[in-house]
Amino acid sequence: MSYVNNIKMFVRVFELGSMSAAARDQRTSPAVASARIADLEKHLGIRLFNRTTRRLQPTENGRLFYDGARKILEAIDDAEAAVMASTQMLRGTVFVAAPLGVGRRFVAPHVPEFKDSYPQIDIRLRLSDRKIDVVSEGLDMAFHLGTLEDSTLKMRLVAECPRILCAAPSYIARRGDPGTGEAMVRDRHDCLNLRFPGAPEFQWTLRTPEGPRRFEVAGPFETDDGDVLTGWALDGRGIVMKPIFEVADHLRAGRLVPVVRETPALPVQLTCLTQHRRLRDPKIRAFTDFIIAACRADLARAVEGLPVFA
């Protein structure tokens, strides 16, 4: 087996703490991952991990080898990036993640266009509304929609995205427009929530005369898919808080209408996150620059002509 591939597998097993997680990260099977670690241990003549039925624990030698192994892989990455930059022959694979709504509307449509310009770069796009860990999941870049926690990642602002509280006319006819966040909570309006394990969005932060305020919201439906929330709102099942670009067509057509306008939703940032050292890779930099420019143009077109719902 390739010694470099064995080192890559070791580093990911060390960082993720799991043979199966490292195998998924490296797009292979747990059996292959285990064989690569065994081959590396045989070559080095040491044990890198203590294995139990429940966990993998790095040995002292494993911890020592990890520091050097990371430097080896970073040196290889830097050497490849330097060659690509000097020859302008960009090649390889870029692993990207994005929220469902952003990915479907603004990222995925431009991937074929990028591929036409850079035929030797492959794109692996993963779409999910759950929280993504760029480092542990081995991603080159990820789009993030929401408030960003403290991070060691390089962040580039794509756009400030206004948000809106809206509902179907049928819901308003049945329950009325609460007008304010206080009335929405007091009268127990059905709020449609985007939630998943570890999600922070258990409250809606709205703009009030006294400043931003968090409101505890509840409702009969929850999901980890933002487009499902929109579908429930269209069906008259409750109030939803969405970036305007996700519901712009429905607002224009009157299928959804603004509510709670006296205490509107705060805008949210769409950002692009990248590990600092990976920005030195010209293929990642090329894709990042291309897709951010495309997203900004598409976002502007998506909300063009709509009034400011605030």
Q: What is the CATH number of the domain that holds 44?
A: 1.10.10.10
Residue 157 lies in a domain: no
Tell me which of 34, 64, 86 is where a domain ends.
86
Instruction: Check whether residue 223 and residue 173 sit in a common domain.
Output: yes
Tell me which of 38, 57, 86 is where a domain ends.
86
Residue 307 lies in a domain: no
Instruction: Check whether residue 179 and residue 256 sit in a common domain.
Output: yes
For residue 178, the domain's CATH number is 3.40.190.290
Contact 174, 256 (CB under 8 A): no
The domain tally of the chain equals 3
Distance, CA of 132 to CA of 99 (rounded, Å): 9
Taking only the tens of pLDDT, the chain with its 310 residues reads: 588 888 888 888 888 888 888 887 777 888 888 898 888 888 888 898 887 666 788 888 888 888 888 888 777 777 776 666 655 678 888 999 999 889 999 999 999 999 999 999 999 999 988 878 887 777 889 999 887 765 778 889 999 999 999 999 999 999 999 999 999 999 999 999 987 655 555 789 999 999 999 999 988 888 888 889 999 999 999 999 999 999 999 999 999 999 999 999 999 899 999 887 777 788 898 999 999 999 999 999 988 888 766 5
Residue 111 lies in a domain: yes
Instruction: Check whether residue 279 and residue 229 sit in a common domain.
Output: no
Instruction: Check whether residue 172 and residue 256 sit in a common domain.
Output: yes
Residue 213 lies in a domain: yes
Contact 145, 102 (CB under 8 A): yes
Residue 158 lies in a domain: no
Which DSSP symbol is given to 103? I
Instruction: Check whether residue 193 and residue 250 sit in a common domain.
Output: yes
pTM assigned to the model: 0.71
Residue 308 lies in a domain: no
For residue 287, the domain's CATH number is 3.40.190.10
The closest of 129, 141, 119, 80 to 274, measured between CA atoms, is: 141
Residue 310 lies in a domain: no
Instruction: Check whether residue 75 and residue 96 sit in a common domain.
Output: no
Instruction: Check whether residue 175 and residue 260 sit in a common domain.
Output: yes
Instruction: Check whether residue 274 and residue 145 sit in a common domain.
Output: yes
Contact 38, 32 (CB under 8 A): no
Residue 64 lies in a domain: yes
| CA–CA distances in Å: residue 200 to residues 218, 248, 251, 260, 272 | 14, 25, 27, 22, 19
Instruction: Check whether residue 64 and residue 104 sit in a common domain.
Output: no
Instruction: Check whether residue 99 and residue 145 sit in a common domain.
Output: yes
Q: What is the pLDDT of residue 197?
A: 54
Residues 6+ apart with CB under 8 A from 108: 125, 127
Tell me which of 48, 71, 86 is where a domain ends.
86
Instruction: Check whether residue 185 and residue 211 sit in a common domain.
Output: yes
Instruction: Check whether residue 118 and residue 248 sit in a common domain.
Output: no
For residue 250, give its domain range. Answer: 163-266
